[in-house]
Structure 1
Amino acid sequence: MAASKVTVDVEGRTLALSNLGKVLYPETGTTKGEVIQYYTHIAPVLLPHLADRPVTRKRWPNGVAEDSFFEKNAPRGTPSWVRTAELPSPGSTKDRDTVVYVMADDLATLVWLANLAVLEIHVPQWTVADGVATNPDRLVVDLDPGEPANIIQCCQVALLLGELFDEAGLPSYPKTSGSKGMQMYVPLDRGVTDDDVSAYARGLAQQLERDHPKLIISRMERAARGGKVFIDWSQNNAAKTTVAPYSVRGRSAPTVSTPVTWDEVEKAARSTAKTRLPLQFDIDDVLGRIDDDGDLLAPMLDQAHPLP
């Protein structure tokens, strides 16, 4: 096992990293040190997608076989150099309720979080400017399969939804969730509220449910989702967060929420796989993809489109 604690310099910040040899993924033997190494290597493409977004973290201090917890507030002992933002809690009924969010703007903060056994990083569809939350700068839909539906059916739905976005003149970008489903992003120009975006996304989901009732559901009832793909339009609510691109997931293996091409989505939608499902990527796969193709979501960062 690696030394229990080592001190490292990360872009001028001194960090004490502990228990690097601790196994966080028993099935694969993946250690905390390997998770930190992944986040270090993926940082150049991950950080632009976290810029100015408050991060909600999901931590597994004793590995994925043990309990986890979500964390919004900056934890006790947060270094003074970590950027934070105190904001009203979006889901609160009391205006005075606030959350002191961590803003993961740099590599040192990312490494510090990974050392706390933060595996998953979740972000909202809005950013912080001058200490205030902005209007959303993107639309997101979460495609959630109800068993026995899986990623294959999610890809079929993504293609249908992509056609609607194309007809509206909106570019859309798919990524896997790193778990069972996938998400799609549309970059927006901040000219509308989260309620406007939610209403638009809900309308598209309802339209596709009417057209493909055996494949798609837009309603929240879990009992009705069996064998269908739920188009979760509610992720656009200001109180909701979505797993960030390139975030590791707390599954049995260190899978990653991975941007994919539309060619990959089309191929997966035609798949007949029964065991090894398509579009399943772990930390090693993703680093290889970045070396080959760069960040497939990078074009989205420079776009802003009005909502129809």
Structure 2
Amino acid sequence: MTPITEVAGRRLKLSNLAKVIHPVTGTTKGELLHYYAVTAEALLPHLGDRPVSFLRYPDGPDGQLFFTKNPPPGTPSWVRTTPVPRSDDPGARQVVLDDLPSLVWAANLVVELHTPQWRAPTPAVADRMVFDLDPGPPATAADCCAVALWLRERLAADGLECGVKTSGSKGLHLLVPIEPTPSRTVSAYARGLAVEGEAARPALITHRMTRALRPGKVFVDHSQNAAAKTTAAPYTLRARARPTVSAPLTWAEVEARHPLELSLDEMGDRLERHGDLLGFLLDPARARALPP
């Protein structure tokens, strides 16, 4: 029998709560839902007004994984959706998660949460810029930290502030609040910085996606600034062997080459200790224009 619970006035059917999703740690689906419920205060503002895409892994990270932008079958009528521009489907809509019941409903599907860098009312006009730092073995998380520090300094030279979070695997994401800017302009600027980084640190950085060029270097992926692309949201769980989180870090942790895999069990203490380390992204006064 599927249990029904009430969340902020909405009745939800929650299924298979005892099912083990991460066999390595024995983490159950119920524990994943509990994680999202207790981190909602920090997580929801980062999803606010952004169309959400889901990477679903209902049978765990070793089972079938499927990525969807469309609202899943059975989406409740009270879950908000928004129209999104899509050349192949002019009537396309996506889910927006802007309250606790909607978040718990989505978590019951067992999902990673991904968003674009723009908000629903202004498609393809970004208010964030992102760099995804991905180490190509034998490059390590420590190499990602070195690149993150280089990028922070370079962005600061252009008057831009950035925050940092783990990817949920071995990489890092840098997030930059910007004044609303066409995504194509943001993409061009981000690519320029990645190219500049490769020229400045050729033994460490590559801006090209070609696998053969990446061993021993950190790929600075600027492509997620394209309007059609998405990035794992802050605090989302990831479909990895362990229940890792795309977790905000302090710059002191980056400077110390802190281990870059943080699990759901660590996030409660971190939020109590640090608050939302990426909260500044939500303050329009912290956004800056890209240089001309």
TM-score bracket relative to the smaller structure: over 0.9
CA RMSD of aligned residues (A): 1.2
Distance in 1 separating the partners of 2:54 and 2:118: 16
- Residue 165 of structure 2 is aligned to residue 172 of structure 1: no
Structure 2 counterparts to residues 42-57 of structure 1, below 5 A: 42-57=39-54
SS in 2 for 1:35: helix
Identify which of 184, 195, 208 aligns with 1:206: 195
Give 1:287 shift: 1.5
Identify which of 172, 190, 193 aligns with 2:182: 193
In structure 2, the gaps of 5 or more residues are none
- Residue 281 of structure 2 is aligned to residue 300 of structure 1: yes
SS in 2 for 1:183: strand
Partners of 1:143 and 1:182 within 8 A in 2 = yes
Identify which of 279, 284, 296 aligns with 2:260: 279
- Residue 136 of structure 2 is aligned to residue 146 of structure 1: yes
Give 1:98 shift: 4.1
Distance in 1 separating the partners of 2:19 and 2:161: 42
Structure 2 counterparts to residues 246-265 of structure 1, below 5 A: 246-265=235-254
- Residue 202 of structure 2 is aligned to residue 219 of structure 1: no
Give 1:68 shift: 0.9
In structure 1, the gaps of 5 or more residues are 272-277
Give 1:86 shift: 2.0
Distance in 1 separating the partners of 2:197 and 2:123: 32
Q: Equivalent residue for 2:113? A: 121
Q: After the TM superposition, which parts of structure 1 deviate over 3 Å for at least 4 consecutive aligned residues?
A: none
Identify which of 93, 101, 109 aligns with 2:94: 101
Cα distance per residue 1:62-87 (max 9 Å; x no partner): 12221110111001111010000122
SS in 2 for 1:307: coil
In percent, how many aligned pairs have the same letter?
52
- Residue 34 of structure 2 is aligned to residue 37 of structure 1: yes
Partners of 1:145 and 1:230 within 8 A in 2 = yes
Q: Normalising by the residue count of structure 1, what TM-score does the alignment of the two structures yield?
A: 0.91
Q: Equivalent residue for 1:112? A: 105
Distance in 2 separating the partners of 1:58 and 1:161: 29
Cα 1:176/1:150, change in 2 over 3 Å:
same
Equivalent pairs counted in the alignment come to 289
Distance in 2 separating the partners of 1:173 and 1:106: 24
Distance in 2 separating the partners of 1:241 and 1:150: 24
Partners of 1:54 and 1:85 within 8 A in 2 = yes
SS in 1 for 2:203: coil
Distance in 1 separating the partners of 2:190 and 2:110: 34
Letter in 2 for 1:146: G
Q: Equivalent residue for 1:275? A: none
Q: Equivalent residue for 2:85? A: 88
Partners of 1:140 and 1:236 within 8 A in 2 = yes
Distance in 2 separating the partners of 1:219 and 1:134: 23
Cα distance per residue 1:100-131 (max 9 Å; x no partner): 2010111101100111122x1000000012xx
Give 1:238 shift: 0.3
Q: Normalising by the residue count of structure 2, what TM-score does the alignment of the two structures yield?
A: 0.96
Distance in 2 separating the partners of 1:150 and 1:257: 17
Distance in 2 separating the partners of 1:195 and 1:254: 34
Partners of 1:26 and 1:65 within 8 A in 2 = no
Cα distance per residue 1:13-50 (max 9 Å; x no partner): 00011110000001111000000000000000000000
Partners of 2:170 and 2:260 within 8 A in 1 = no
Letter in 2 for 1:298: G
Letter in 1 for 2:161: P
Distance in 2 separating the partners of 1:231 and 1:98: 34
- Residue 270 of structure 2 is aligned to residue 289 of structure 1: yes
Q: Equivalent residue for 1:78? A: 75
- Residue 46 of structure 2 is aligned to residue 63 of structure 1: no
